[in-house]
């Protein structure tokens, strides 16, 4: 793991205890809506093998398990503290969580029917390697769902202005969320992301934007 990745890993470990709380505060709870709607656009079948990359505290994995209880779901993240919370939140669900690096996945080729990644790709220093690994372990014909911030429009700018104020009130330490805003601002727009995904072999199946385009999801296939 390179120095930048190690620093980001430590940052997420440090904010893990308040991560869900702050997500609800700064998004006014709307992140749950965007995640839920994005998952509904997937065609998840019983006994599908699903891999949730950068799973964090397990939101996507838990929602997918509720949507399709017979699916076999594995969550991967490089933050042990985030995984500890994910395991607590999903203790009544049959979900496996693994501490691993998305650029070196411990799975065989063509292992998963569905792969998801929510708000994680911009936290990986080598995004092309992570996407190459996702492509490698996805089955032919499988679905890859990516969710993150979308258009840099008026509403996105309001989010950027409000977030530091809310963080100051409810969290106190601005650094992790200053990083969030910066990473969001330099992250490619959905059109640029789709080009990156296609350069790794994926094909666009569906794109959906939510909350005035602030959040965007792309479903790619192998």
Question: What pLDDT does residue 159 have?
Answer: 74
Fold for domain 3-221? Rossmann fold (3.40.50)
Which residues contact residue 39 at a Cβ distance below 8 angstroms, ignoring those fewer than 6 apart? 60, 63, 64, 67, 116, 145
Question: What pLDDT does residue 19 have?
Answer: 86
Question: What pLDDT does residue 154 have?
Answer: 55
Question: What pLDDT does residue 4 have?
Answer: 66
Which residues contact residue 205 at a Cβ distance below 8 angstroms, ignoring those fewer than 6 apart? 143, 219, 220, 221
Regions in the chain scoring below 70 on pLDDT: 1-4, 153-158, 160-161, 163-171, 173-177
Q: Under DSSP, is residue 150 helix (H, G, I), strand (E, B) or coil?
A: coil
Query: What is the tens place of the pLDDT at every residue in 29-69?
Result: 888 999 999 999 999 999 999 999 999 999 999 999 999 99
User: How far, CA to CA in Å, does 34 sit from each of 21, 78, 87, 102, 146?
Assistant: 17, 24, 22, 23, 12
Q: Under DSSP, is residue 88 helix (H, G, I), strand (E, B) or coil?
A: helix
Contact 215, 209 (CB under 8 A): yes
Q: Cα–Cα–Cα angle for 35, 217, 84, nearest 5°?
A: 40
Question: What pLDDT does residue 3 have?
Answer: 41
- Give 151's DSSP letter: -
Give the span between the Cα atoms of 172 and 151, in whole angstroms.
Answer: 28
Give the span between the Cα atoms of 129 and 64, in whole angstroms.
Answer: 25
Beta bridge partners of 96: 74
Q: Cα–Cα–Cα angle for 59, 208, 215, nearest 5°?
A: 55
Question: What pLDDT does residue 177 have?
Answer: 66
pTM to 2 decimal places:
0.91
Question: What pLDDT does residue 133 have?
Answer: 98
Per DSSP bridges, beta strands 95-99 and 138-149 are unpaired
Q: Which residues of 137-157 are buried (b: 16+ CB within 10 A; e: fewer)?
A: bbbeebbbbbbbbbbeeeebe
Q: Of 105, 111, 115, which is closest to residue 78 (Cα–Cα)?
A: 105
């Amino acid at each position: 793991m390179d120095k930048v990745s190690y620093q980001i890993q430590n940052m997420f470990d440090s904010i893990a205890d308040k991560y869900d709380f702050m997500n609800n505060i700064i998004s006014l709870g709307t992140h749950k809506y965007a995640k839920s709607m994005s998952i509904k656009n997937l065609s998840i079948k019983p006994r599908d093998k699903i891999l949730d990359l950068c799973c964090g505290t397990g939101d996507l994995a838990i929602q997918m398990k509720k949507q399709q209880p017979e699916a076999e779901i594995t969550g991967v993240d490089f933050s042990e503290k985030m995984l500890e919370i994910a395991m607590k939140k999903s203790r009544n669900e049959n979900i496996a969580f693994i501490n691993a690096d998305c650029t070196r996945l411990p799975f065989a080729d063509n292992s998963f029917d569905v792969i998801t990644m929510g708000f994680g790709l911009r936290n990986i220093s080598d995004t092309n390697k992570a996407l190459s690994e996702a492509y490698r372990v996805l089955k032919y014909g499988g679905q890859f769902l990516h969710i993150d911030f979308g258009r840099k429009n008026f509403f996105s700018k309001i989010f950027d202005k409000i977030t530091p104020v809310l963080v100051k009130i409810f969290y106190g330490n601005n650094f992790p969320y200053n990083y969030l805003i910066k990473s969001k601002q330099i992250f490619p727009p959905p059109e640029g992301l789709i080009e990156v995904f296609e350069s790794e072999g994926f094909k666009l199946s569906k794109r959906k934007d939510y909350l005035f385009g602030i959040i965007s999801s792309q479903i790619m296939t192998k």
